Amino acid sequence: MSFTNPLLDAWSRGDDTLGVWCQLPSSTAMEMIAGVGFDYACLDMQHGLIDYPDAVPMLQAARAGGVTPIARVPANDAGTIGKILDAGAMGVVVPLVNTPEQAARAVAACRYPPVGQRSFGPIRAGMLIGSRDPQELQKVACIVMVETQEGLDNVEEIAAVDGLDAIYVGPSDLAIGLGMAPGYEREEPAHVEAIERIRQACAAAGIAAGIQTDRGDMARRRLDQGFAMVTVGHEAGFMKRMAQQELDTARGG
């Protein structure tokens, strides 16, 4: 039976997906967060504390918990992308993509020849999907981040790259790129308009629009705006906020 990637399947139906960002190198934390009911869990290998030896058991824990695992790789590097896909990630988030050529390079790293340049060696991925057929193995989500002024200037051309599945907005980096302080929801019109421009570019190209948020209410607003891939927050932030809340309650605050 043909393999179906849950994220790609959801987006093809027009369904929303809600996820969690994972920054801590812990398979136990992944087990706990995977059981909550998120659609995806993204291992942050760019800014998080997760390296490849940490990622493999976390991918195993994600599978056990029934959540679709993806990974933000440190850079647009074919070797790094192929390695985490071979380990069982069902998609990659590629940071700092500023041109359609860079987006095409990310897509090529996710697909096998003749359409791409991914090297064959599905050490764990083949077991997970039950096939070593390249056509099945390459059913992974290729997601690029637009988070700079240059990327924004080229977003319509980036969205139109063949084989791209989604564009993911990094609101804080985008804010910095626009000359503002970092923030998930800036009030400046330039930031608001930039995020909406990215969403519209995705809609016009027929791909998913994704974005990072920090809380459930913020995530709800982004869903209502039309984003299909919305990260509700990261597990370290959830843990810190809940700990602070319980401590404040205990102290009578």
Residue 47 is among the residues annotated as catalytic for this protein: yes
Q: What pTM was computed for the model? A: 0.96
Note whether residue 177 is domain-resident: no
Residue 85 belongs to what domain range? 16-141+210-250
CB 125 within 8 A of CB 85: yes
CB 128 within 8 A of CB 63: yes
- The pLDDT score that the predictor gives to residue 1 is 64
Note whether residue 179 is domain-resident: no
Q: Which of 15, 47, 127, 130 is catalytic?
A: 47
Note whether residue 27 is domain-resident: yes
Note whether residue 196 is domain-resident: no
Domain count, the chain: 1
CATH number at residue 86: 3.20.20.60
- The pLDDT score that the predictor gives to residue 2 is 87
Residues 57-104 have pLDDT tens digits of 999 999 999 999 999 999 999 999 999 999 999 999 999 999 999 999
Residue reference for tokens 């705006």? 225
- The pLDDT score that the predictor gives to residue 139 is 98
Note whether residue 184 is domain-resident: no
| pLDDT over 80 at 253, yes or no | no
Note whether residue 187 is domain-resident: no
C-beta atoms surrounding 126 within 10 Å: 17
